[in-house]
Amino acid sequence: MRLELGYLFIEDVQFAEETKLENKTLYVNKNELVNLIKEDEHFEKVDLELARPGESIRITPVKDVIEPRVKVEGPGGIFPGMISKVDTVGSGKTNVLKGCAVVTAGKIVGFQEGIIDMTGPGADYTPFSKLNNIVLVCEPKEGLKQHEHERALRMAGFKAATYLGEVAKNLTPDEVEIFETEPMLESINKYPELPKVAYVQMLQSQGLLHDTYVYGVDAKESLPTIIYPTEIMDGAIVSGNCVSACDKNTTYHHLNNPVVKDLFAKHGKELNFIGVIITNENVYLADKERSSNWTAKLAEFLGLDGVLISQEGFGNPDTDLIMNCKKIEQKGIKTVIITDEYAGRDGASQSLADADPLANAVVTGGNANEVITLPPMDKIIGDTSYVDTIAGGFDGSLKEDGSIVVELQAITGATNELGFNKLTAKGY
């Protein structure tokens, strides 16, 4: 599976009469995009705002972040099962508007949505402060059920990202990056001297509003399976999560999964990147046992020497993480786990809800309980009235002057288990 990603770099975003890309500036027809989103009868009001790096702007509550992409050549289309038909993606050519994103915000869906500050100390903890953001502020109709609200807002983000991505369909990229995964037997024969490594990606799927979708199917309805890493880059996996802001992998995280990119960078040099095993996270013990058994079985079936495992969420998913690690290690396959840790505000508490001696190679995402003070911003996109009740907030978090005292978990993308940092641990 070979995918060419063509990057068109965005340095500014502005409203204009025509949606187009010129001289690294993305121009957006506000009325046209708003009217597209308002076709959904679930919304009472839709507005569009712009937030650029360095501006004194706070966006909250944030539902999802999505990078605009468009399929240029090859089978399928972007966001299969959501926007495009359910064709297998991950090959051909896809153009990317690099440096911008669609952010969905507005009245809260669950009680764990997050904050993006475009400047100040909070901006240092989120990758999204570095992007030119097109923010959809959607207000649902009165009486709309939470799951209907979540779906409407999720689809609004995908529609907006698809609309914007179309401007790049016939443009020449500024830069092209190629990613390729050979069929397993070919890859093994090509690099016989290198350790065979795969990535086990745990997807949040623990009940209503804790959803991740694979080709349009809720991950909780599926058993662990094998996927080409390039499929992820074409939008095969998208977020529907309303979990703690720093714990959820937004759709942007999936499209730009840094674990996948780091493994590709080492492919054929330090290791043989065989592919990705995706597995879900479960509520009940029997389901956890079933999924971790299948994950270990697939790792053994692939004849792997090493595995990287990332989790999404904390607490309950820590058990899934350790089960996967322990069972894969017991197959004789070395593991490295990427953790999402909560060690208390003083850092002195047990940071994971589960542990095992076989989990002996760890990359930490940091302590999400650490407290930070976010200074007042000149402009608020969305609504700060939810700040006291989101995960990481507390009664009195929002101060009279507009400053906010919260734990890092309230910041979208902060201490994320994918981290957007280069991996350094070697466990294979």
The DSSP bridge pattern shows strands 225-227 and 237-239 to be: unpaired
Q: What DSSP line would sit under 234-288, residue for residue?
A: TTSEEE---S-TTTS--HHHHHT-HHHHHHHHHBTTTBEEEEEEEEE--SSHHHH
The structure tokens listed for 297 are 């079985």
**Residue 385, C-beta contacts closer than 8 angstroms, at least 6 positions apart:** 398
Helix runs in 121-241, H state only: 146-165, 184-190, 229-233
Q: Is 327 helix (H, G, I), strand (E, B) or coil?
A: helix
Q: What does the alpha-carbon distance between residue 11 and residue 134 come to, in Å, rounded to a whole number?
A: 13
242 is catalytic: yes
What's the sign of the alpha-carbon dihedral 404, 408, 410, 414? positive
The region, left, alpha or beta by phi > 0 then psi within -120 to 50, assigned to residue 15 is beta
Q: In b/e form, how buried is each residue of 135-172, taking b as 16+ CB within 10 angstroms?
A: bbbbebeeebeeeebbbbbbbbbbbbbbbbbebbeebe
Given 100, 138, 242, 325, which residue is catalytic?
A: 242
CA dihedral 236, 416, 372, 425 (to 10 degrees): -160
246: tokens are 């720093």
Q: How far apart are the first and last CA of the chain?
A: 25
CA 425 – CA 321 distance, rounded (Å): 17
The span from the CA of 245 to the CA of 318, in Å, is: 17
What is d(CA 92, CA 98) in angstroms, rounded to the nearest whole number? 18
Give me the active site residues, please: 242
